[in-house]
Amino acid sequence: MLVSAICGVLSGVILALTGAGGGVLATPLLVLCVGLSPREAAPVSLVAVALAAAVGAVVALRTGQVRYRAAGAMAMVGVLFAPVGLRVAHGLPSRLIVVTFCGVMLIVGARMLAQVVQQGGDVPASQRCACQRDPDTGRFRWTFRCSVSLACTGAVAGLFTGMLGVGGGFLIVPALRQFTDIEMPMAAATSLSVVALVSSLTAATTLASGVYVPGAGWSFIATTVLGLAGGRQLAQRVPSRWSQIVFSVLVFGVALVWLAKSLF
């Protein structure tokens, strides 16, 4: 139970710092440290990330950091694709799910680290962005290219939410940094809102189907929320560049350890 609580706090803090890694780390931590199987860990991860992200999203909305129209668009598409991910997960062997998850983690970690190296953690060059903000209003200009980019991001995030029991933030944050001109704190806040909406609905559907959550799972869920609450205070003091670096290193480390344990 203590190990589960410690893992939950770590997951919550990372979720607060990056708007992502809590979800992508939750499932591996539950498997490697708590001893759950990938299928047992998925619903626990979903509930934990959904509740923690909801708390973080409410706080971020009050500070005006959430691009709520973009978050709503991605969430609507994500909710449609999450059930597809659930069906896919039930039809795949556990080892294949783990290998897929680890592969995605390595790719995402590499992309975010590359962004730090190429851009120094600054806002992406505006000419490369599909979604650019109006300098007068601060809102996105909703071009066709922007709408497609956000819709595809939501679809992929929803698919992995259902299939792997993650919030999808580990995909949303890099996508927002790649396709938009918003800074890391705003990307993290917007990601939390999408994660809260998609994960909450997916978690509710999963629990309604009669999925059992063990005692260690509830301990993990409670401490994830507490970890996020504390991590929000820390996030205000950590530079965006270092948030991305920490996230990338953690994702790489967990993916390699989990992959090695699964294959060997």
Average pLDDT of the residues in 216-220: 88
Phi first, then psi, for residue 212 (nearest 5°) are -90, 135
Q: What is the pLDDT of residue 121?
A: 46
- Cα dihedral 55/18/174/123 (nearest 10): 110
Residue spans per domain, the chain? 2-263
Q: What is the DSSP letter of 180?
A: B
pLDDT tens digits, 127-169: 567 888 888 887 888 999 999 999 999 998 888 877 776 667 7
Q: Is the pLDDT of residue 104 over 60?
A: yes
Q: How far apart are the first and last CA of the chain?
A: 27
Whole-number Å distance between alpha carbons of 205 and 210: 9
Q: What is the pLDDT of residue 235?
A: 67
Instruction: Spell out the residues 6+ positions from residue 152 whose beta carbon is closer than 8 angstroms to its own.
Output: none
CB 116 within 8 A of CB 241: yes
